[in-house]
Amino acid sequence: MFIEPFKGILYNKKKIKKLGSVYAPPYDIISPRQQDEYYKASPYNVIRLELNKSDNPYTSAARFFNAWRKEEILKQDEKPSIYIYSQDFKYKNQLCRTLGFIALARIGSCLKDLALPHEMTFKAPKEDREKLLEAAGANLSCIYTLFEDKPSCVNRLLTQASGKKPFIDARFDSVRHRLWKADDGKWIKKLQQFLSDKKIFIADGHHRYEAAVNLRNRMKALDKNFDEKSPYNYVMMYFASMQDKNLTILATHRVV
């Protein structure tokens, strides 16, 4: 697996004082009632990008995305970074903390070349996410992946780089979310080396991953200058260690 740092686009803390008001959970678990609530929470809530309510949600999401960047509601970092991300939450009255990182992953030559999926996917959701990805020209949310980290080499690197004050420290949905930027070249190279011989398992985001692969394949056929460094050849992912003792997977309950 080949990972790269990138210049992330983040909410501007000078303009958004309450970061929790602009957050939302993954698009596919949001009910219509929750969608309305997130719309009301802030005119800049990410729901307008991820799950827009208009008749043409893709062009509308792209319009909001471009307008927010122009207004500097969203700002792109000047330096490419790996983004270290932690979540503090309570489970069975115990405080738990998970630690992982966000980076770009190079898409392989075939679907299973990079990631090991475990879920059957459906045409409509893949087309939906591909249209949004193409309209916005950006990954708006992370694919959640797992990797083997024996003997906790990556965890030590993440712990080392997250010892300073986080860039983001906010609460949403009873969870404390923190984010650090790691832009040191030597540190990034070590992380890349540890991950170079790994395959990853998709925990969440199968449709988004396949949408990114499909869009990459289309662009590869259309763009004569396409090469492995082309932006379409990468997808944004969150990487979590299987050895993280606080990694918690709960049942999903659905009503048929």
- Helix/strand/coil for 88: strand
Q: 77-86, 107-116, 156-165, 240-249 — which is least confidently predicted?
A: 107-116
Over the stretch 67-79, which tens digit does the pLDDT of each residue have? 999 999 999 999 9
Asked if pLDDT for residue 110 goes beyond 60, the answer is: no
Q: Quick one: pLDDT band at residue 108, thresholds 50, 70, 90?
A: confident
Computed over every residue of the chain, the mean pLDDT equals 91
More confident residue, 87 or 228: 87
pLDDT confidence of residue 4: 96
**Assigned token pair, 227:** 């090469």
Closest CA to 186 of 102, 105, 82, 83: 82
CB 48 within 8 A of CB 30: no
Q: What's the whole-model pTM score?
A: 0.92
What is the amino acid identity at position 70? K
Asked if pLDDT for residue 12 goes beyond 70, the answer is: yes
Over the stretch 155-182, which tens digit does the pLDDT of each residue have? 999 999 999 999 999 999 899 999 999 9
Q: Quick one: pLDDT band at residue 121, thresholds 50, 70, 90?
A: confident
119 phi, psi to nearest 5 deg: -130, 140
Mean pLDDT of 214-240: 92
Cβ-proximal residues to 109 (8 Å cutoff; 6+ apart), any chain = none
231-252: burial string, b at 16+ Cβ within 10 Å, e else: ebbbbbbbbbbeebebeeeeee
Asked if pLDDT for residue 229 goes beyond 90, the answer is: no
Q: Quick one: pLDDT band at residue 256, thresholds 50, 70, 90?
A: low
CB 204 within 8 A of CB 211: no
